[in-house]
């Protein structure tokens, strides 16, 4: 029973307010001025980290004004810093490997291999000469067949070893293959990409303001686990600020984009905020839906945005305002920007 008692008055109030606003708009459409009633609207952004980690620190409170690029919050970075050091070390290792391949073999290594080849060639010659001396002795039965076979095996082994060393010397003189250098370059490029990724992940541990604005609320606190899909705070942008209102269909032809407007609030009754028509909906709609009278529920209206100059940030989200659009003055032909209109 309690819920019904609370809800019904709000519905009745909404119907009454909607009817009142539309009736007032109908009365105040004339040849020189159109009066509309609406609410202040601004853009908001749900800010979140690109990484998943526990929040380390928040540097702003609700209601704080922040500038574009200002650091708002940070995550714990111990793991990310270790990954960055690992990526840097791996890149350095791979770069040294590539430099070694590109430099080729040192002359000292080639000379050493050539000396080993000469030594092996001498050993092979000695083994072959020994075998040749022993062959006649077998016919004279001065040695056994086994001794001759052993000498032949030693000679063959020495010759094979010499050929292997010769081939190694040829490769050493020729230097690294082009394909090996290309592979090493690809490995270095991959290490560079890994390092860039580690640096980006570390930077993603910082949350920056995307534009000038006001911190509307803090959703998470230090120690909470942050995820890319979980907002940390809500930022309300200072500009642009506009009034969302509804224009009756008969008044559609009286205003154009850029038409000058004045905005009044109950909060600051002595102040006038300058503005201009920045958007007119291309399609009509029936509004508000809660109005049940036959006259009002069938009226066509167009959603409009009246951009407002708000130098002292006094116009707040949801604030009810009155807008007077001057239809006698010509609309601005130049592009309507906040820099040009709110000086």
Q: What would the two tokens of residue 248 be? A: 């009756």
CB neighbourhood size of 85 (10 A): 10
What pLDDT is attached to residue 25? 43
pLDDT of residue 40: 92
Distance CA 243, CA 321 (A): 8
What CATH number does domain 2-72+215-329 carry, 2.40.30.170, 3.40.50.300, 2.60.40.60, 2.40.10.10? Answer: 2.40.30.170
pLDDT at 322: 93
What long-range pairs does 203-206 form, CB within 8 A, spacing at least 24? 204/49, 204/50, 204/51, 205/49, 205/51, 205/53, 205/56, 205/74, 205/75, 205/76, 205/77, 205/80, 206/71, 206/73, 206/74, 206/75
User: How many other CB atoms are found less than 10 A from the CB of residue 175?
Assistant: 15
Positions in the chain short of pLDDT 50: 1-27, 289-293, 334-335
Q: What is the pLDDT of residue 68?
A: 94
Prediction pTM value: 0.64
Distance CA 109, CA 103 (A): 13
In DSSP notation, 127-182 reads HHHHHHHHHHHHHTTSS-HHHHHHHHHHHHHHHHHHHHHHHHHHHHHH-S-HHHHH
Q: What is the per-residue pLDDT for 341?
A: 67
Q: For position 239, what pLDDT does the model report?
A: 82
Closest CA to 257 of 230, 278, 273, 236: 278
pLDDT of residue 195: 96
Give the pLDDT confidence score for residue 339 in this predicted structure: 58
Give alpha helix (H) positions in the chain: 2-27, 78-103, 107-139, 145-174, 178-203, 294-297, 338-341
| pLDDT at position 147 | 84
> Does residue 251 contact residue 29 with C-beta atoms inside 8 Å?
yes
Q: Give residue-wise pLDDT tens across range 189-205.
A: 999 999 999 999 999 99
Q: Which of 150, 160, 149 shows the shortest CA–CA distance to 123? A: 160
Q: Tokens 């690992």, residue?
A: 86
pLDDT of residue 102: 81
291 contacts: CB under 8 Å, gap ≥ 6: 15, 18, 19, 22, 297
């Amino acid at each position: 029973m309690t819920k019904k008692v609370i809800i019904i008055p709000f519905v009745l109030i909404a119907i009454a307010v909607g009817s009142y606003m539309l009736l007032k708009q109908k009365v105040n459409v004339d040849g020189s001025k159109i009066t509309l009633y609406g609410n202040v609207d601004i853009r908001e952004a749900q800010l979140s980290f690109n990484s998943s980690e526990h929040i380390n620190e928040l540097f702003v409170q609700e209601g704080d004004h922040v500038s574009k690029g200002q650091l708002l919050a940070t995550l714990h970075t111990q793991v990310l810093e270790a990954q960055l050091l690992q990526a840097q070390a791996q890149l350095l290792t791979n770069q040294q490997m590539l430099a070694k391949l590109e430099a080729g073999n040192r002359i000292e290594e080639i000379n050493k291999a050539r000396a080993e080849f000469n030594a092996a060639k001498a050993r092979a010659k000695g083994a072959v000469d020994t075998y040749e001396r022993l062959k006649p002795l077998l016919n004279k039965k001065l040695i056994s067949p086994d001794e001759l076979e052993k000498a032949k095996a030693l000679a063959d082994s020495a010759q094979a070893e010499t050929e292997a060393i010769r081939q190694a010397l040829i490769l050493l003189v020729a230097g690294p293959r082009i394909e090996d250098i290309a592979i090493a370059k690809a490995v270095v490029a991959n290490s560079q990409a890994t390092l860039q990724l580690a640096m980006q992940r570390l930077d993603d541990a910082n949350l920056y303001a995307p534009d000038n604005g006001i911190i509307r609320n803090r959703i998470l606190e230090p120690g909470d686990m942050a995820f890319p899909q979980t907002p940390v705070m809500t930022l309300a942008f200072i500009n642009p600020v506009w009034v969302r209102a509804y224009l009756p269909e008969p008044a559609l032809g009286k205003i154009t984009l850029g038409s000058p407007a004045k905005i009044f609030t109950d909060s600051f009754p002595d102040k006038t905020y300058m503005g201009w028509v920045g958007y007119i909906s291309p399609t009509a709609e029936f509004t508000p839906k809660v109005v049940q009278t036959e006259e009002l529920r069938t009226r066509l209206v167009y959603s409009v945005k009246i951009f407002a100059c708000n130098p002292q940030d006094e116009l707040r989200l949801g604030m009810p305002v009155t807008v007077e659009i001057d239809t006698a003055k010509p609309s601005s032909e130049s592009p309507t920007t906040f820099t040009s209109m709110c000086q």
